[in-house]
C-alpha cells in the first residue's frame, strides 16, 4: 500500500447481491480501497455445529478483490449464533448481579467457556486456511470490541487458576489481599469467589470491600479475553504466518487493560466515537494512548462515523468539515488507515440510523457522501507522505489501568476524583501549549523524554520510582500529583510517608488530606496567578521542595499546594490538589518552557499543530478564521502549493494544512 487506507466496515450479507454493484460503483467514486468484512457473520458461516458455509463470504471477498479493494477480514466471533447459545447455555455470561443471560445482543460470550473457546478458534482456523495467502486480505480483525465481564462459575474457577499462577501459595494470596481484615482468610482455593454484587460489592463495580480482589478480577478478566484473542490468533497462524492480526480497541476503555494486550497485537486499531460535545483534545489524547500501546508505531483508525452515531440517547450530526478534520487529526497522530463504521446503512435493527457512507437511498449526491469522496481524493493525493512514520514527542504522560481501577475503587479520600479527568487535564495543558505528548504505560523506557507527567499515579509498581528519579537526575522534569504513590501493586498502602517511593524525588511529605464536596474550592495562589483547587486537598510538608503556590483558605491556608524540588540536574513538581485548568496549564506551561517545548502556534485559538514524519499538520478546530506564518519552507500536500518560510497561512474553521518539509 502506498497511501493511507480508506474504507470501513462493510456488511453486504445484510442486503441483496444486486445492491453490491451499486456499493462498489459508489466506493470507486469515494476512493474507497479497504473493506472490513465479516465482523458479525458467525451465524452465516456456521449455520449449525456441524456445518460451515463460506459461500456468501467467498462472494463478498472475491467481489471486493475483483474490484481491487483490500480486505481486513474479521473472524466474526464478536456475536455468537443463537443455536450455539441454545445448545451450550454456558457460552452466555453471568452478570454482576449473578443472572445467567440467555441468547441476545452481542459481545456476550463467556471468555472461560470451553465451547466458545473451541468454536471461536475453529472459526478463525477455517477462515485462515481458506483465505491465507489471498492477495486481497491485508489484515485479520479478531472478534470485535472485547469488553464487559462475566461472573459465572467457569470464570470463577478460571480466576482461581489465574490466582494460583500469580501467588503460588494461599499464604501469599492472603497476604496480598490483606484478608486478615474482616475475617477473610482463605484456607482453600475453592473458597475464593468472583467479586460481584453477590460477594464483595455493593452499589456497583467500584464499591468493594476488598480492592485487591476487585483489581485482580479485572486483571484476570483482561487476561481471559486476551486468551480468547490469542486462541483465534494462534489458529490463524497455523495457516497464515504473516498477515498482521489486530482487534479494535475502544480508547480509554476502563474494563480492559489494553497494555496487557500490547505484545499480542501486530498493530493497534481503535474505534473513535468521541462524546461530541467535548474538546478535540479528547481525541488527540486517545490517539496518543492507542499509539502508546503499539510502542509508537502507526495504528489504524478502525471505525468512526462519517456523520452520526445511533447508540446514544441523542446523536448529534458531525458538522460539515468535521469528519474530514477529525480524519486528518487521526492521521496526524499516527493513523495509517481511516476507516468508517459503516460503509452502507443496514435497513433494520439498532443501527439502521447509524451514519454510513452510503445511506438507504444509495445516493452519491448527499453532503456526507460528497465529503467522504473529497477526503478520499485528498488521501490519494497525499499518498505515502506520512505512511509508516512516527509522531515525535518529548513529553510522556503515564497512563495506568491499575491506578485507574485502584483509585476509583478506593474508599477514601473521595469518590469524586475521576482518574481520566486528572490525566486529561494534564494532557490538555500539553496539547494547548502545542507540545506533542506520548501517552504511555508505566513500563515504558523513559530515557527519551524531557518531561514525564504522572498524574494521580495511585499505584506505584516495580522500579518506576527509580526510573522517574533517573529522569530528573539527568536533567528532565517529572510532574506528579495528589493521590500518587499511595499503594503497591496489591493495593496496600506503603508503610512510609505519602507519596511513598516518590517522596525522595518530590521532596515533600503528606500527613493529612482533606476531601470536600463538588463545588467547594480552595483558592490556589501562584503570586501572579490565582486559580482554584477542588476535590482533594493534601496538606504538604516540604522536605527540600520549594513552594510554588499556596492554598488560600481553611486551616491550611498559606501551606503549599504546588511544589518544585531540585533533583540531580532536573526537577520534580508536586501538585497537591485538583487544580482547575488554568492552574494545570500554568504548572505544565512552566515545565514545558524550562525545556523549550512550547509549540510555535500555542495560543492560536483552536489551532492544533502536530508533527508526523516530515509533515507538520495544522488542524483548525476553532470557530474563527486564523492566520499564522509558515514555520519553514514547505509544500502543502493537499493543494500542492509551495510555501516559503514566513508566508501567511490562512485557515478557516475546519481547515487543515499538511506542510511537508523539503527532504
Ligand atoms: C462499535 C462496533 C460497531 C458498531 C459501532 C456503532 O464500534 O464495533 O460494530 O456497532 O460501534 O457506533
Ligand atoms: Zn464466564
The closest residue, in CA terms, to atom 7 on ligand 1 is 271
> Which residues have CB under 8 Å from 2's CB, separation 6+?
383, 384, 387
Nearest CA, atom 3, ligand 1:
341
Atom of ligand 1 nearest to the CA of 40: 9
Of the candidates 253, 280, 538, the residue with the CA atom closest to the CA atom of residue 404: 253
pLDDT tens-digit map of 334-387: 999 999 999 999 999 999 999 999 999 999 999 999 999 999 999 999 999 999
Measured CA distances, 135 to 8, 21, 68, 127, 162 (Å) = 18, 21, 10, 15, 40
Q: Which ligand is nearest to the CA of 117?
A: 2
**What CA–CA distance (Å, rounded) separates 284 from 307?**
19
E strand or H helix at 25: helix 17-30
Residue ranges in 208-340 assigned as alpha helix (H): 211-237, 280-293, 322-332
**Predicted confidence band at 279 (pLDDT cuts at 50, 70, 90)?**
confident
Average pLDDT, the chain: 97
Report the SS3 class of residue 593.
Answer: helix
Contact between 69 and 51 (Cβ < 8 Å): no
Instruction: Determine which helix (DSSP H) or strand (DSSP E) holds 271, and give its type and residue range.
Output: strand 269-271
Answer yes or no: is pLDDT of 278 > 80. no
Instruction: Check pLDDT > 90 for residue 591.
Output: yes
pTM for the full predicted model: 0.98
pLDDT at 300 over 80: yes
Instruction: Please report which ligand is nearest the Cα atom of 273.
Output: 1
Whether 586 has a pLDDT exceeding 70, the answer reads: yes
Q: What is the pLDDT of residues 523-533, one digit of tens each?
A: 999 999 999 99
Contact 82, 103 (CB under 8 A): yes
Classified as helix, coil or strand, 62 is helix
Give catalytic residue positions. 145, 303
Q: What is the pLDDT of residues 46-94, one digit of tens each?
A: 999 999 999 999 999 999 999 999 999 999 999 999 999 999 999 999 9
Phi-psi region of 121 (alpha: psi -120 to 50; beta: other; left: phi over 0): alpha
The phi and psi torsions of 158 (rounded to 5 degrees) equal: -65, -35
CATH ID of 5-148+241-382, from 3.30.70.2610, 3.40.50.2300, 3.20.20.70, 3.20.20.80: 3.20.20.80
pLDDT score of 663: 73
Tell me the CA–centroid distance for residue 341 and ligand 1, in Å.
7
Confidence of residue 1 (pLDDT cuts 50, 70, 90): confident
CATH 3.30.365.10 fits 395-594, yes or no: no
Rounded to the nearest angstrom, the distance between the alpha carbon of 659 and the centre of ligand 2 is: 51
**Which ligand 1 atom sits nearest the alpha carbon of residue 250?**
7
Homologous superfamily of the 607-660 domain (CATH): Golgi alpha-mannosidase II (2.60.40.1180)
- Domain ranges within the chain, ordered by starting residue: 5-148+241-382, 395-594, 607-660
Q: Which residue of 11, 108, 145, 286 sits with most ligand 1 atoms within 8 Å of its CB, as the best mutation to test the pocket?
A: 145
Domains 5-148+241-382 and 607-660 share a fold: no
What are the residue ranges of helices labelled H in 278-359? 280-293, 322-332
pLDDT digits (tens, 9 = 90+) for 177-202: 999 999 999 999 999 999 999 999 99
Is residue 101 over pLDDT 90? yes
Does pLDDT of 145 surpass 90? Answer: yes
Q: Which residues line the pocket of ligand 1, CB cutoff 6 A?
A: 144-145, 248, 271, 273, 303, 309, 311, 341, 351, 354
Q: In percent, how much of the chain has pLDDT > 70?
A: 100
| % helix, strand, coil for the chain, step of 5 | 35, 20, 45
Please tell me the distance between residue 158's alpha carbon and the centre of ligand 2 in angstroms.
9
* Cβ count near 223 (within 10 Å): 20
Q: What is the pLDDT of residues 440-497, one digit of tens each?
A: 999 999 999 999 999 999 999 999 999 999 999 999 999 999 999 999 999 999 999 9
Write out the DSSP string of 447-479: TT-SEEEETT--B--TTHHHHHHHHHHTT-EEE
pLDDT > 80? residue 161: yes
Taking CA atoms only, the protein residue closest to ligand 1 atom 12 is 309
Predicted local distance difference test score (pLDDT) of residue 420? 97
What is the model's pLDDT at position 277? 67
Distance between Cα 388 and ligand 1 center (Å):
26
The alpha carbon of 406 and the centre of ligand 1 are apart by a number of angstroms equal to 29
Gyration radius of the chain's alpha carbons: 26
Amino acid at each position: 500500500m502506498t497511501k493511507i487506507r480508506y474504507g470501513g466496515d462493510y456488511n453486504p450479507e445484510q442486503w441483496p447481491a444486486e445492491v453490491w454493484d451499486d456499493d462498489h460503483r459508489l466506493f470507486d467514486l469515494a476512493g474507497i480501497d479497504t473493506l472490513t468484512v465479516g465482523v458479525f457473520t458467525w451465524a452465516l458461516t456456521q449455520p449449525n455445529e456441524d456445518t460451515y458455509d463460506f459461500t456468501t463470504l467467498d462472494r463478498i471477498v472475491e467481489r471486493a478483490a475483483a474490484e481491487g479493494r483490500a480486505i481486513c477480514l474479521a473472524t466474526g466471533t464478536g456475536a455468537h449464533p443463537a443455536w450455539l447459545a441454545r445448545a451450550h447455555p454456558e457460552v452466555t455470561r453471568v452478570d454482576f448481579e449473578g443472572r445467567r443471560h440467555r441468547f441476545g445482543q452481542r459481545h456476550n460470550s463467556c471468555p472461560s467457556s470451553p465451547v466458545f473457546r473451541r468454536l471461536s478458534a475453529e472459526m478463525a482456523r477455517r477462515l485462515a486456511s481458506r483465505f491465507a495467502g489471498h492477495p486481497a486480505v491485508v489484515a485479520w480483525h479478531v472478534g470485535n470490541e472485547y469488553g464487559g465481564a462475566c461472573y459465572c462459575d467457569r470464570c470463577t474457577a478460571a480466576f482461581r487458576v489465574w490466582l494460583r499462577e500469580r501467588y503460588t501459595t494461599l499464604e501469599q494470596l492472603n497476604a496480598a489481599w490483606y484478608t486478615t481484615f474482616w475475617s477473610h482468610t482463605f484456607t482453600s482455593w475453592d473458597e475464593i469467589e468472583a467479586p460481584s454484587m453477590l460477594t464483595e460489592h455493593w452499589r456497583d463495580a467500584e464499591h468493594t470491600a476488598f480492592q485487591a480482589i476487585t483489581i485482580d478480577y479485572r486483571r484476570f478478566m483482561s487476561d481471559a479475553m486476551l486468551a480468547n484473542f490469542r486462541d483465534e490468533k494462534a489458529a490463524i497462524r497455523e495457516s497464515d504466518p504473516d498477515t498482521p492480526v489486530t482487534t479494535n480497541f475502544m480508547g480509554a476503555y476502563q474494563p480492559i487493560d489494553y497494555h496487557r494486550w500490547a505484545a499480542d497485537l501486530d498493530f493497534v486499531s481503535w474505534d473513535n466515537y468521541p462524546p461530541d460535545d467535548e474538546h478535540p483534545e479528547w481525541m488527540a489524547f486517545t490517539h496518543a494512548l492507542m499509539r502508546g500501546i503499539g510502542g509508537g508505531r502507526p495504528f489504524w483508525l478502525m471505525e468512526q462515523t462519517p456523520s452520526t452515531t445511533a447508540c446514544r440517547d441523542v446523536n448529534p450530526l458531525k458538522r460539515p468539515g468535521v469528519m474530514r478534520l477529525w480524519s486528518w487529526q487521526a492521521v496526524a497522530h499516527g493513523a495509517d488507515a481511516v476507516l468508517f463504521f459503516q460503509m452502507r446503512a443496514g435497513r433494520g435493527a439498532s443501527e439502521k440510523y447509524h451514519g454510513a457512507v452510503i445511506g438507504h437511498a444509495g445516493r452519491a449526491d448527499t453532503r456526507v457522501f460528497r465529503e467522504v469522496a473529497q477526503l478520499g481524493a485528498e488521501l490519494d493525493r497525499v499518498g505515502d507522505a506520512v505512511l509508516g512514520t512516527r509522531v515525535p514527542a518529548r513529553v510522556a504522560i503515564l497512563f495506568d489501568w491499575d491506578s485507574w481501577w485502584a483509585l476509583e475503587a478506593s474508599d477514601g479520600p473521595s469518590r469524586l476524583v475521576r482518574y481520566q479527568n486528572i490525566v486529561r487535564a494534564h494532557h490538555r495543558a500539553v496539547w494547548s501549549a502545542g507540545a506533542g505528548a506520548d501517552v504511555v504505560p508505566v513500563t515504558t523506557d523513559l530515557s527519551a523524554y524531557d518531561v514525564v507527567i504522572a498524574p494521580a499515579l495511585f499505584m506505584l509498581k516495580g522500579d518506576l520510582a527509580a526510573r522517574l528519579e533517573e529522569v530528573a537526575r539527568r536533567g528532565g522534569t517529572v510532574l506528579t500529583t495528589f493521590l500518587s504513590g499511595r499503594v503497591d501493586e496489591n493495593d496496600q498502602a506503603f508503610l512510609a510517608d505519602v507519596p511513598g517511593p516518590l517522596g525522595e524525588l518530590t521532596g515533600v511529605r503528606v500527613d493529612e488530606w482533606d476531601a470536600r464536596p463538588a463545588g467547594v474550592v480552595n483558592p490556589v495562589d501562584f503570586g501572579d496567578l490565582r486559580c482554584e483547587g477542588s476535590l482533594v486537598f493534601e496538606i504538604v510538608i516540604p522536605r527540600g521542595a520549594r513552594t510554588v503556590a499556596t492554598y488560600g483558605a481553611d486551616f491550611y491556608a498559606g501551606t503549599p499546594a504546588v511544589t518544585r524540588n531540585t533533583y540531580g540536574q532536573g526537577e520534580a513538581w508536586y501538585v497537591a490538589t485538583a487544580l482547575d485548568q488554568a492552574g494545570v496549564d500554568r504548572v505544565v506551561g512552566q515545565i514545558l518552557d524550562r525545556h523549550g517545548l512550547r509549540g510555535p502556534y500555542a495560543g492560536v485559538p483552536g489551532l492544533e499543530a502536530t508533527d508526523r514524519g516530515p509533515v507538520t499538520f495544522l488542524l483548525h478546530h476553532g470557530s474563527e478564521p486564523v492566520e499564522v506564518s509558515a514555520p519553514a519552507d514547505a509544500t502543502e500536500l493537499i493543494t500542492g502549493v509551495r510555501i516559503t518560510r514566513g508566508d501567511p497561512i490562512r485557515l478557516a474553521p475546519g481547515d487543515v494544512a499538511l506542510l511537508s518539509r523539503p527532504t
